[in-house]
Amino acid sequence: MQDSAVSGMCARRVMPGVRAHTKLNMGKPKNRFVAKAEAGKGWRIWDNQQKKWWGERYESFPEHLLAELNGGKHPDRITELIRRTARKRV
């Protein structure tokens, strides 16, 4: 009797060590550094891992700098990109 009651219900399988309400991240991993626009102030880079702003404000979207921060992480290249990217004077 108990087997038939269980077979008619949908049983949820949970991976060991993972809570049932935990959402599994599937697909593209989350970037550590993202650019966020601030109205009238320019662009800033947000560090998702440390939960704080990184660097200064930029006039335009810092695409190449973000690609290097999330990709290769070469310190000399990052320094060069910071110098070349136009910063917003506050």
The answer to whether position 8 is within a domain reads no
pLDDT the model gives residue 87: 84
What is the per-residue pLDDT for 44? 95
pLDDT of residue 52: 96
Q: Are 58 and 44 in contact (CB under 8 A)?
A: yes
Q: Which parts of the chain register pLDDT below 50?
A: none
Residue 76 domain flag: yes
- Position 57 in a domain: yes
Specify the pLDDT at position 16.
Answer: 57
Asked if the structure places residue 38 within a domain, the reply is yes
Residue 48 falls inside a structural domain? yes
Query: In this structure, is residue 77 part of a structural domain?
Result: yes
In a domain, 53, yes or no: yes
The tokens describing 17, both together, are 């060590």
pLDDT of 30 reads 85
Q: Is residue 18 part of a domain?
A: no
Count of domains for the chain: 1
Beta-carbon contacts of 11 under 8 Å, excluding residues fewer than 6 positions away, are none
What is the reported pLDDT for 8?
52
The domain of 70 spans 27-90
Report the C-alpha gap between 58 and 33 in whole angstroms.
Answer: 14
Mean per-residue pLDDT of the chain:
81
**pLDDT tens by residue, 60-81:** 999 999 999 999 889 999 999 9
Q: Which residues pair with 34 in a beta bridge?
A: 46
